[in-house]
């Protein structure tokens, strides 16, 4: 749970994340032809690792110090989706 209770706000965020992922796919397609799949795979995995570390840190801060920032969780999700699209995604 990211701490966003309003259903309309949740829908807006999910729609924006979906559009972001779609736009990343359009950017990643030509990049794979130009740079090759292997470098993009390394970039993708590294970026996904950073995104998961950010989400983990925010979850830890919430459990240890009761300091939760939904924007950090959403940023981590956006990073994860973008980096996934660049190397591991279709």
pTM (predicted TM-score): 0.86
**Confidence (pLDDT) at 89:** 80
pLDDT in tens, 15-66: 999 999 999 989 888 888 888 889 999 999 999 999 999 999 988 988 888 8
- Contact (Cβ atoms closer than 8 angstroms) between residue 48 and residue 84: yes
Cβ contacts of 45 within 8 Å, gap of 6 or more: 83, 87, 88
């Amino acid at each position: 749970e990211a701490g966003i209770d309003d259903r309309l706000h949740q829908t807006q965020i999910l729609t924006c994340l979906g559009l972001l992922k779609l736009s990343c796919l359009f950017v990643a397609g030509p990049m794979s032809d130009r740079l090759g799949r292997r470098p993009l795979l390394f970039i993708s995995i590294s970026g996904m690792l950073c995104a998961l570390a950010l989400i983990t840190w925010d979850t830890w801060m919430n459990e240890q110090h009761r300091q939760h920032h939904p924007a950090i969780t959403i940023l981590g999700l956006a990073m994860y989706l973008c980096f996934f699209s660049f190397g591991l995604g279709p």
